[in-house]
Amino acid sequence: MKEADMNRSGEKEISRRTFVDWVIKGGLLVALAGVLYPALSYLRPVMRRGAISEMEEVGGVNDIPVWGGKKVIIGGSAVLIIRTPDAFKAFSAVCTHLGCLVDWDGQKREIICPCHAGIFDLNGRNISGPPPRPLPVYTVSVINNKIFVKV
Amino acid sequence: MWKRCYHWFNERFDLPKIQKPINDQLTKPLPGHISWFHTLGSMSFFLFISQVLTGILLLIYYHPTQKEAFESIKFITNEVYMGWLYRQIHAWGSNLMIIIVFLHMLRTFVTGSYKKPREITWILGVLLFVMTVIFGFTGYLLPWNQLAYWATTVGTEIAGAVPFFGEFLKTFLRGGTAVGGETLSRFFVIHVIILPWALFFIVIFHLFCVRYLGMSTMDKVGEEKKVKEGQGVPFFPHHVLKEGIVLFVLLGVLITLSVFSPFELGEKANPLQTPHAIKPEWYFLSMYQVLKHFPKSIGIFVLGLAPLFLLIWPFLDRTPQRHPSKRPVSMTIGILVVLSLVIFGVLGWVSETRIHVFGKTYDVDMYGKPHLVPAQTPPVQKDIAP
Ligand code: FES
C-alpha cells in the first residue's frame, strides 16, 4: 500500500485511481454477465408444452385389435397403447432403463424392451431385466369409439 | 522469380529473423531413443487434417435437418462423384483417429513422458482424446439412420443419470424431450464448428508444449540431459522422413478400408421403432458394458472417474523414473486398464448376439455370458433358461 493511500490516522484509504479501477473492472464483469446470461439461456431448449389437461386423439377403437398394441407420438414423446378385452391402457413407451422404445408382445402379453431384454407386465411394472422403474401410465378415455390419451 | 519474391517480402518483414527460429526447430536434435512409436502424434494430426478436408467436402451436400439428413447422405453416397469415397474416408478416418490418438496416449504413458515438466502437455493431450471421442459421438448421429438415432438416444439417456442435473443435461443435449431435429442441429453445430476450432487451438498449444519443452528422454525426472547439437536424431530429415513413411502407409490403410469395407448407411431413423440389441460405437462398448453391471447413477460415477484419473495422472504418479521397467506400479495399472478395456469391449461386442464356436451355437446374454443353444431347437427362442 502506498503512502498516498493512507490518511492521517493510518487507516487504509482507497485512492481515486484504485476506485476508478475497481469501478471499471466491476463494470466489465457485470457487462460480461449481462452478455453471457442471454447467450446461455438461448441454448435452453424451447419446450412447447400443450395445456396439461388436454386429451389427444390417437385413433379409432378399431385401429387396435384386442391384445394388440400401437405406438404413437404425443407431444414429442412416444406412447404405447394396448388393448385388452375390456380396456385400453397407455404407457410411456420409453424404457426406464436407457430410453429405448418398448414393444408390445401380444402373444406373451408382455411389454418388452429390445435393447437389454427388459420386460414389463400389463400394468407397466418392470418384472425382469435391467429397467429400474415401471413405465409411466397415462389415462385413456374412449369417447364415441375414439381413443383419447392424456399425457 | 523466387529471389524477387523473397526480396519483396524481405523489404516488409525481417525474413532472416523469422527464419532463424524456424531453422532452429527444424534442425533441433531429438533424443536417441525416438522410434516409430513417436510418429503416432503426427499420425493423429494427419488424420485430423484429413477429417477437416473430407468434412468440408461432405458439408457441401449435407443438409442437417431431420427431413433431409438421411437423404442427403444417401445422395452423397450414390449420386455425387466420388461422394461415397469421401464419406467412407471420413467415417474410417474417425475410427482410425480414435485408435491412433489412444495409442499415442498409451505410448506417452509407457515412456513416462507425462512427468515433469510435461504435465500440461499430457493434460492437453487427454483433452484432445476426449474431444476426439466426442467428435465421434456427435458425428455418428449426423447420417440420421436407425443405429445412429438409437445409439444417441441411449447415449444421452446415460447423461440423464448424472446426479442432480442429469435430467436438465439430457434435455439440454437433446434440445427437447426426445432425440429429434433439435438434437441433430445441436450435434451438427458441435461437430462442425465448436469442436474443430477448439481442437485446433488445443492442438497448437499441445504442439507448442512438445516443441518448447523438447521431447522427453528416458532419464529420471530432473536429470534429463539436453540433447546436444550433433547427437541424437535430427528432427529433419531423419524423423520427418519416418513420419512421412508412416503417413504414407496410413493413407494407404485409410483408402483401402474405405474401398473394401465401407460403412453401411442402413435405414432412416424411425423414432417409433427401436432396433434389436442396440449398441454404441465400438469405442464406447467397454464403458457401455461396465454400465450394465451397475445401477445407472453409480455406473455414471464410475465412468466419470476414468477421464478424471487420466487428467490428473501426472500428479498421482510422482515417481521420478521414466523407464517402463523401473515403474512396476504404473505399468501394472496401465496394463490392467488396457486389458479391462479390451475384455469389457469384447463382452459388449458379443452381448445379445448369437455366436457360433466350434460347431456349437450360443446365445450370449446382455452381460456377455454365453448360453448353449441345444442342437435342434426351433429358431430364436430368446429367453431359454440356462
Ligand atoms: S433400454 Fe430397455 S432394457 Fe435397457
Q: By the 8 A CB rule, do B195 and B188 touch? A: no
pLDDT for res A50: 52
Q: Do B154 and A100 touch (CB under 8 A)?
A: yes
Instruction: With a cut of 50, say whether residue B385 has pLDDT above it.
Output: no
Contact residues, chain A, for B385 at CB < 8 Å: none
Residue with cell 377403437: A61
Residue of chain A with shortest Cα separation from B186: A43
Burial A9-42 (b: 16+ CB within 10 A, else e): eeeeeeeeeeeeeeeeeeeeeeeeeeeeeeeeee
How far is Cα B281 from Cα B148, in angstroms, rounded to an integer? 9
Q: Which of A115, A120, A127 to mutate to test the pocket of ligand 1 (most atoms within 8 A of CB)?
A: A115
pLDDT in tens, B311-357: 999 999 989 999 999 999 999 999 999 999 999 999 988 887 788 88
B121, B217, B230 from B212: Cα distances, Å: 10, 14, 19
Q: Which of the pair, A151 or B76, is modelled with greater confidence?
A: B76
Whole-structure pTM over 0.90, yes or no? no
Contact residues, chain B, for A101 at CB < 8 Å: 271-274
Q: Which of the pair, B386 or A41, is modelled with greater confidence?
A: A41
With left for phi above 0 and alpha for psi between -120 and 50, is residue A143 left, alpha or beta?
Answer: beta
Of B178, B276, B278, Cβ closest to residue A77: B178
Instruction: With a cut of 70, say whether residue B156 has pLDDT above it.
Output: yes
pLDDT for res B69: 96
Contact residues, chain A, for B293 at CB < 8 Å: none
A16, B104, B250 from B100: Cα distances, Å: 58, 6, 10
Instruction: With a cut of 70, say whether residue A3 has pLDDT above it.
Output: no
Q: In 3-state terms, chain B is what percent helix, strand and coil (to 5)?
A: 65, 5, 30
Q: How far is the CA of A115 from the centre of ligand 1 (A)?
A: 5
pLDDT for res A52: 54
Q: By percentage, how much of chain B surpasses pLDDT 70?
A: 97
DSSP single-letter state for residue A5: G
Backbone angles phi, psi at B29, to 5 degrees: -75, 140
Q: Which residues line the pocket of ligand 1, CB cutoff 6 A?
A: A 95, 97-98, 100, 113, 115-116, 118, 129-131
pLDDT for res A146: 87
How far is Cα B97 from Cα B102, in angstroms, rounded to an integer? 8
- Which residues, other chains included, contact A83 with Cβ-Cβ below 8 Å and sequence gap of 6+? A64, A65, A66, A67, A68, A69, A89
Q: What Rg do the C-alpha atoms of chain A give, in angstroms?
A: 30
pLDDT for res A75: 76
Mean pLDDT lowest for which of A56-60, A88-92, B52-56? A56-60
Instruction: With a cut of 70, say whether residue A5 has pLDDT above it.
Output: no
pLDDT for res B188: 97
Residue with cell 456377455: B368
Q: Which residues pair with A82 in a beta bridge?
A: A69, A89
Mean pLDDT of chain B: 90
Mutate to test the interface with A, among B146, B170, B272 (most CBs of A within 10 A): B272
What is the rounded average pLDDT of the residues B175-192?
A: 94
In order, the DSSP letters of A66-110 are TT-EEEEEETTEEEEEEEETTEEEEEE-B-TTT-PBPEEETTTTE
Read off the pLDDT band of B386 (50, 70, 90): very low
pLDDT for res B160: 84
How far is Cα A47 from Cα B180, in angstroms, rounded to an integer? 13
Q: How far is the CA of B156 from the centre of ligand 1 (A)?
A: 13
Helix, strand or coil for residue B293?
Answer: coil
- Count of alpha carbons within 13 angstroms of residue A129, beta-carbon side: 26
Instruction: With a cut of 80, say whether residue B158 has pLDDT above it.
Output: yes
Q: Which of the pair, B186 or B167, is modelled with greater confidence?
A: B186
Across A36-45, A76-85, B116-125, B365-374, the highest mean pLDDT is recorded for B116-125
Instruction: With a cut of 60, say whether residue B383 has pLDDT above it.
Output: no
Instruction: Give the minimum alpha-carbon distance from B278 to chain A in angstroms, rounded to a whole number.
Output: 5
Of B158, B295, B383, Cβ closest to residue A98: B158
pLDDT in tens, B218-229: 888 888 888 887
Chain B residues with a Cβ under 8 Å from any Cβ in chain A? 150, 153-154, 156-158, 160, 171-172, 174-178, 180, 182, 271-278, 292, 295-296, 352, 365-366, 382-383
What is the rounded average pLDDT of the residues B51-73?
A: 96
Instruction: Give the minimum alpha-carbon distance from B216 to chain A in angstroms, rounded to a whole number.
Output: 41
- CA nearest to A117, candidates B170, B384, B280, B159: B384
How far is Cα B233 from Cα B215, in angstroms, rounded to an integer? 11
Of A45, A71, A117, Cβ closest to residue B272: A71
Q: In 3-state terms, chain A is what percent helix, strand and coil (to 5)?
A: 25, 35, 40
Q: Which of the pair, B288 or A48, is modelled with greater confidence?
A: B288
Mutate to test the interface with B, among A80, A101, A127 (most CBs of B within 10 A): A101
Q: Do A101 and B274 touch (CB under 8 A)?
A: yes
pLDDT in tens, B80-114: 999 999 999 999 999 999 999 999 999 999 999 99
Q: In what order do the strands lie in the sheet with A137-143?
A: A55-60, A146-150, A137-143, A87-92, A77-84, A69-74
**Which grid coordinates are listed for B200?**
485446433
What is the rounded average pLDDT of the residues A65-83?
A: 88
DSSP single-letter state for residue B145: B
Residue of chain A with shortest Cα separation from B174: A45
Atom of ligand 1 nearest to the CA of A130: 3
Q: What Rg do the C-alpha atoms of chain B give, in angstroms?
A: 24
Q: What is the ipTM of this complex?
A: 0.76
**Which grid coordinates are listed for B333?**
495399472
**Which grid coordinates are listed for B203?**
492442438
